[in-house]
Amino acid sequence: MGLKPGDVIRGHYQIIRELSRGGFGVTYLVKDIDRLDDASPIVIKQIKIPQQQEEGEVRKNNYLKNLERESQTLSRLNHDRIPKLLGRFK
Its pTM stands at 0.73
Q: What is the pLDDT of residue 38?
A: 66
What pLDDT is recorded for position 39? 65
Buried b (16+ CB within 10 A) or exposed e, 7-43: eeeeeebbbeeeeeeeeeebebebeeeeeeeeeeebe
Nearest 5°: the CA angle 33, 20, 23 is 125
One digit per residue, pLDDT tens: the chain, 90 residues?
A: 579 999 999 998 999 999 998 877 888 999 988 887 766 778 888 887 766 655 667 777 787 888 888 888 888 888 888 777 877 777
